[in-house]
Structure 1
Amino acid sequence: MEITQSKNSKAITYDEPGKFENTRFEKIHNVIFSSAKEGSVKVAKEIRDLILDKQSKGEMCVLGLATGSSPIKVYEELIRIHKEESVSFQNVITFNLDEYYPMEPENIHSYHYFMHEHLFNHIDILPKNINIPKGNITVDELHDYCISYEDQIDAVGGLDFQLLGIGRTGHIGFNEPGSHVNSETRSILLDHITRVDAANSFLGIDNVPKKAITMGIGTVKKAKRIVLLGWGDKKASIIKETIEGAISSEVPASYLQLHSNTTFVLDKEAASELTRIKTPWLVGSCKWTPELKSKAVIWLCQLTGKSILKLIDKDYNDNGMAGLLVDEGSSYNLNIKMFNKVQQTITGWPGGKPNADDTFRPERSTPDKKRVLIFSPHPDDDVISMGGTFDRLVSQGHEVHVAYQTSGNIAVADHEAIKFAEVALAMNGSSDDKLMSRVIEQLKTKNENSIDSIEVRKLKGLIRRGESIAATRYLKVPDENVHFLDLPFYETGGIKKSPLSDEDIDIMCNLIETIKPHQIYAAGDLADPHGTHRVCLNVLLESLKILKSKPFMEDCWLWLYKGAWHEWDIHEIDMTVPMSPDQVLRKRKAIFFHQSQKDGIMFQGNDLREFWMRAEDRNTKTAQKYNELGLADYAAMEAFVRWYY
């Protein structure tokens, strides 16, 4: 569908949502981009055009701004526009959506700190024009302060443009479920899921404030233009509910259906649950590609509760897939084709079966013994995500290397580091060990704004290294095949990472070129465009682009695994490796070597189980799904997608 510019708002727009058959379920205009970066650049240009239009009229431009990971790339592009295109922000007034309460502005977790770090310190906006809710006012002042924040917005003529993210509860700003459509700036109690999602930044949910100050739904809705950013598959479910569902206080973002100039700017992952994307056969005629056929048949099996070979013509006809049967001739023919396709993803030989016909196998049979390079973003993702396959590759005689892309030091709790430092101090037999004494003192006196010193980071990194070596030795990988890359982008001491650099890419390229692998395994998590897994995948893909012309790359295949939380959808999977109960146990033991991550996990998300429990549950469910489709009944399965670079 053609994207056009509206004369009045300079907005990304097309005809009204729901006007055409393929958008008939949608109640909010949305545009889907191939990546978060591409979408962010488009939004930043819209903001630039609005600023310049206001400048040409001698008017102030009033922006409502958001925090969190979603707008970061928009702010990066605005900074570039300011510096490279000489666009001034001196006619810009900003109002931020929200702030934690209580929260001091200089606290590194505050949105005041975030906005200055990510935008304000890098542009020429006048400090007097920056408005961020104050998280350090007294309880007695809070009510009047919220009223005055509303008055300030009204005094400058309201918001010309409001930038939003969306939380998994459907909140915009901190308007949690239950918020009223006419609500204004106020204090609010944060939903548990919201606090869980913020736990990474605060190094644990116990450190996340329980309250916040937020603009209200009514305040946001008065903006002349609203753009909501949605990135990654973690947002896909709530995006669908917001765009296609009923207006409800349980999904506060759904109130945006009432706004006449709102656009959701999404990447492919965030849009993946929309009806026209996930099940396009329900909204109109389809071009039945092989990929779409697989997706549709698996979906139909899950909908009807039938295995592939039990589907009948009526199942297809009753669920919008009559056109597919016209292409295939009958359900009988289609079922056999799809059954074979799914069955052929299963292999007990992830490195390829020697001396076997590999026509319908996911991996090549030659060479018999392959050089395998497993990339692990953190020092435990390898065994958590593909420990069974890892073990199988080693036992089948392949030359297996594992490369830990980051040190993982920020995931080591302070109390865990103190324990190791005290052991080292005791081993030295003297309290005169100045280094360990200093490390212990730093850890015990650390405050919430502190970033670990280089010494503390080194100790925490060494703890993760020791655990990794113990796990790889258990899996019988030679120590010389274990590589610790410590990519520079990660080594900031805090949650915020540095941009990818040539140094990161050079480190990756050098290792790949040294090993010359036949297989590369890497984490394929695409949920968070700013998360460590996604950045580690990006640096790998950039490295492969550079190395692509090298002769050894012609024989190098890239396989992607998922992290601890999710698995590939069945129709996406190109290879599954079944595990016996004994192999499940071996995988569990390998995970147990990462003892600093076993109890009280710092970055556990909304799943309170330990990593090994999540991993086993995911692998068991994958096997169950295959069995429900009519395939063999295995104890567990690990799944991979082949990536063509």
Structure 2
Amino acid sequence: MRRLNLLEETRFEKLPVTVFPNQKVAAKEVAGRIANLIRKKQATGENAVLGLATGVTPIDVYQELIRLHREDGLSFKNVVTFNLDEYYPMKPFAEQSYVRFMNENLFDYIDIDKANVHVPDGTLPLEQIQQYCLEYERKISEQGGLDLQILGIGRTGHIGFNEPGSAPNSGTRLVTLDDLTRSDAARDFGGKENVPTKAITMGIGTIFKAREIILMAWNTKKAPIIKKAVEGEISSEVPATYLQQSDKVEFILDQDAASELTRFNTPWLVRDCVWDEALIKKAVIWLSDTVKRPILKLVEEDYNNNGMAQLATERGPVYDINIRIFNLIQHTISGWPGGKPDADDSQRPERATPSSKRCLLFSPHPDDDVISMGGTFMRLVDQGHEVHVAYQTSGNTAVWDDDALRYVEFVRDFTKSISCDSTGLESIYTAMRQFIESKQPNQPDIPELQTVKGLIRKGEAIAGARFAGVLDENMHFMALPFYERAKVEKPRNYEDDINLTIDLLQKIKPHQIYAAGDFADPHGTHKVCFDIILEALKRLKTTEKWVEDCWLWLYRGAWQEFDIHEIEMAVPLSPKQVLKKRYAIFKHQSQKDRPVFPGEDKREFWVRAEERTRETARAYDRLGMAEYEAIEAFVRWRF
């Protein structure tokens, strides 16, 4: 019976998928399988031939393999590796090189014979590449083919660098990179314009010859493409769908990457469900959107025709379900984000007491506060709360070089005009000019340039917060050390960041905390900042009683928005408030027109923010709620 149920649950999935609670557990499983293969081959005196991948996805697998080598004695002397791809052109010791990546993340820490390591050569003259690729294929064949190929997946659906349009029988070759792939790599290269347009990659036909194929994916950013690869039709537009034709493949995912698969996203379409309030809310919102009718107009036929007959039978009549969910959603709407004084708060998202709260808004970058929750930010101030804002990083990597020079030139010329000694400033300016003229892609700025860029963003943050009504003494510039360390090495310890956060929290003792829950941020800064806050609160909870009464609200905005069923507090904005929020965002002049790292969304931040909040308001309107100009959305984190 269990097997039948599993088949029913996965009937939309066209290849085997295994889902783990998180990427650490999943990566340990993959590393364990690789280790078992290596040991099995050692027992028979054979080589284990591995196809390896680069990028963020396999890093935890490689870390576990290093641990197995150091602590369990796993030897790699019988291992031969072939990497999937390499940028072209690319020098092997360049920061972005996959040769360097593999050395720094695996090969330098295990006992593999470097003669058994193969990574495509990005230094070859163009006319030699075709012959080189044929030779790469021959070397794989000489080893008897790949025993195991591990893969990641790009947001275009590429595996290796087999971009949309790749043929299923393709071999190792030079390819042109998709625009989205280059956008995703922009951070590593110091701007999209520095990302190579080509790469050498194993072909899909080469990958298919492996005796076992494991594709891994972590986090919600990969969820949409995973759904297409697993449940979609086979198409050259999504090369990963070709894997549906293999009987040797398995997708290994964490829960976030699997979240859009039918069995997780809309489970009522594949099985009977345990209908708790959260699932009912999600299903009714989905049904309203599917049949294009407000919640209070949904009828039994809608439920029965869309996989929700069980809900109608167990919890009906359906009109009672409709009213309950309508009220539940309506109660998320509040113009009092800090709680409404002297009001019944049993149906409100925030507590009424204390009527005047200490509110601490954490902003990972200097502009996340006004971009993501500017309207709520100003409303908290206007309603008399003690509002603090903590800018967690300097954001100095996101300022154009010429903007930095322009500011220093102003100060230099200003000091000359009032007859001040500008000798020291002149030497700083000269050093900056010389550095910028010879600056290499992704090269960390010299300290003077970092300082200027940080001061530019600090000044903009002050202007934005003042416009929102925050007192100068309630602005906190934390300059968390991890942000600067990340420019020269991968941070592995965040103790100083956590301690700085603990100190600030103890100083303010907030009743409310607002933190960025927008983990689609291409920098990764939001997630790191959020984890630091959580760890600080976790430690404080054991000793500080005020933490028990502190509510943590997550906001989004610049990069993505919460799904409607997730929202627990919806703060409506009037047209006037939307305009005022826009002016606050405009204070961040270095981020206007063309930010350094825009992600794949090319719109200006203020446009993104307005469109997202307007779409949230439209979604509430479609459900049958009151019509608002815009809505900022929040989810409470219970820790």
Normalised by the length of structure 1, the TM-score is 0.94
Read off the aligned partner of 1:447 and give its amino acid letter: Q
Task: Give the distance between the partners of 2:597 and 2:22, measured in 1 at CA.
Answer: 25
In the superposition, relative to structure 1, how do residues 479 and 513 fare at CA in structure 2: closer, same or farther (>3 Å)? same
Q: Shift in Å at residue 616 of structure 1?
A: 0.3
In the superposition, relative to structure 1, how do residues 371 and 599 fare at CA in structure 2: closer, same or farther (>3 Å)? same
Q: Which moved more, 1:427-436 or 1:299-308?
A: 427-436
Correspondent of 2:552 among 542, 558, 564? 558
Task: Give the distance between the partners of 2:634 and 2:250, measured in 1 at CA.
Answer: 35
Q: Shift in Å at residue 449 of structure 1?
A: 5.7
Read off the aligned partner of 1:539 and give its amino acid letter: I
Read off the aligned partner of 2:45 and give its amino acid letter: G
Is 1:437 the counterpart of 2:424? The answer is: no
Q: Which moved more, 1:580-589 or 1:19-28?
A: 19-28
Matches within 5 A, 1:110-259: 110-259=97-246
Read off the aligned partner of 2:604 and give its amino acid letter: E
Name the residue aligned to 1:571. 565
Q: Shift in Å at residue 160 of structure 1?
A: 1.6
Name the residue aligned to 2:380. 393
Name the residue aligned to 1:447. 440
Name the residue aligned to 1:587. 581
Output one character per residue of 1:235-289: Cα deviation in whole Å (capped at 9) or x when no partner. 1111111111122212110111122232212122211110111111111111111
Matches within 5 A, 1:50-129: 50-129=37-116
Read off the aligned partner of 1:454 and give its amino acid letter: P
Name the residue aligned to 1:335. 322
Output one character per residue of 1:166-192: Cα deviation in whole Å (capped at 9) or x when no partner. 111110001011111111100111111
Q: Shift in Å at residue 19 of structure 1?
A: 6.2
Is 1:308 the counterpart of 2:285? The answer is: no
Output one character per residue of 1:466-504: Cα deviation in whole Å (capped at 9) or x when no partner. 111111111121122111222222213638641242222
Name the residue aligned to 1:7. none
Name the residue aligned to 1:490. 483
The answer on whether the counterparts of 2:189 and 2:442 sit within 8 Å (CA) in structure 1 is: no
The answer on whether the counterparts of 2:521 and 2:559 sit within 8 Å (CA) in structure 1 is: no
Output one character per residue of 1:95-123: Cα deviation in whole Å (capped at 9) or x when no partner. 11111112222221222222223222333
Name the residue aligned to 1:472. 465
Q: Specify the SS of the correspondent of 1:364.
A: coil
Task: Give the distance between the partners of 2:405 and 2:103, measured in 1 at CA.
Answer: 33
Q: Shift in Å at residue 402 of structure 1?
A: 1.1
In the superposition, relative to structure 1, how do residues 497 and 611 fare at CA in structure 2: closer, same or farther (>3 Å)? farther
Task: Give the distance between the partners of 1:530 and 1:165, measured in 2 at CA.
Answer: 19
Q: Shift in Å at residue 81 of structure 1?
A: 2.8
Task: Give the distance between the partners of 1:62 and 1:406, measured in 2 at CA.
Answer: 44
Name the residue aligned to 2:419. none
Q: Shift in Å at residue 594 of structure 1?
A: 1.3
Task: Give the distance between the partners of 1:271 and 1:425, measured in 2 at CA.
Answer: 55
Task: Give the distance between the partners of 1:252 and 1:307, measured in 2 at CA.
Answer: 38
In the superposition, relative to structure 1, how do residues 563 and 130 fare at CA in structure 2: closer, same or farther (>3 Å)? farther
The answer on whether the counterparts of 2:153 and 2:159 sit within 8 Å (CA) in structure 1 is: yes
Read off the aligned partner of 2:596 and give its amino acid letter: M
Q: Shift in Å at residue 71 of structure 1?
A: 1.6
Is 1:543 the counterpart of 2:557? The answer is: no
Q: Specify the SS of the correspondent of 2:121.
A: coil
Task: Give the distance between the partners of 2:61 and 2:18, measured in 1 at CA.
Answer: 16
Is 1:514 the counterpart of 2:507? The answer is: yes
Output one character per residue of 1:598-626: Cα deviation in whole Å (capped at 9) or x when no partner. 12222211111100000000000000000
Output one character per residue of 1:625-645: Cα deviation in whole Å (capped at 9) or x when no partner. 000100011000000011111
Number of residues of Structure 1 aligned to a counterpart in Structure 2: 632
Read off the aligned partner of 1:363 and give its amino acid letter: E
In the superposition, relative to structure 1, how do residues 551 and 104 fare at CA in structure 2: closer, same or farther (>3 Å)? same
In the superposition, relative to structure 1, how do residues 77 and 410 fare at CA in structure 2: closer, same or farther (>3 Å)? farther
In the superposition, relative to structure 1, how do residues 557 and 104 fare at CA in structure 2: closer, same or farther (>3 Å)? same
Is 1:415 the counterpart of 2:408? The answer is: no
Correspondent of 1:603 among 597, 601, 612? 597
Normalised by the length of structure 2, the TM-score is 0.95
Read off the aligned partner of 1:418 and give its amino acid letter: L
The answer on whether the counterparts of 2:187 and 2:523 sit within 8 Å (CA) in structure 1 is: no
The answer on whether the counterparts of 2:157 and 2:239 sit within 8 Å (CA) in structure 1 is: yes
Q: Specify the SS of the correspondent of 1:509.
A: helix
Q: Shift in Å at residue 372 of structure 1?
A: 0.8
Matches within 5 A, 1:21-32: 21-32=8-19
Q: Specify the SS of the correspondent of 1:507.
A: helix
Task: Give the distance between the partners of 1:461 and 1:76, measured in 2 at CA.
Answer: 34
Read off the aligned partner of 1:119 and give its amino acid letter: L
Q: Specify the SS of the correspondent of 1:309.
A: helix
Name the residue aligned to 1:8. none
Task: Give the distance between the partners of 2:61 and 2:402, measured in 1 at CA.
Answer: 37
Name the residue aligned to 1:11. none
Task: Give the distance between the partners of 2:444 and 2:165, measured in 1 at CA.
Answer: 37
Read off the aligned partner of 1:247 and give its amino acid letter: I
Name the residue aligned to 1:9. none
Is 1:618 the counterpart of 2:605? The answer is: no
The answer on whether the counterparts of 1:200 and 1:602 sit within 8 Å (CA) in structure 2 is: no
* Unaligned runs of at least 5 residues, structure 1: 3-14
Output one character per residue of 1:358-410: Cα deviation in whole Å (capped at 9) or x when no partner. 00000000000111111111111111111111111111111111112222121
Give the aligned CA root-mean-square deviation in angstroms. Answer: 1.9
The answer on whether the counterparts of 1:347 and 1:362 sit within 8 Å (CA) in structure 2 is: yes
Task: Give the distance between the partners of 1:377 and 1:356, measured in 2 at CA.
Answer: 33
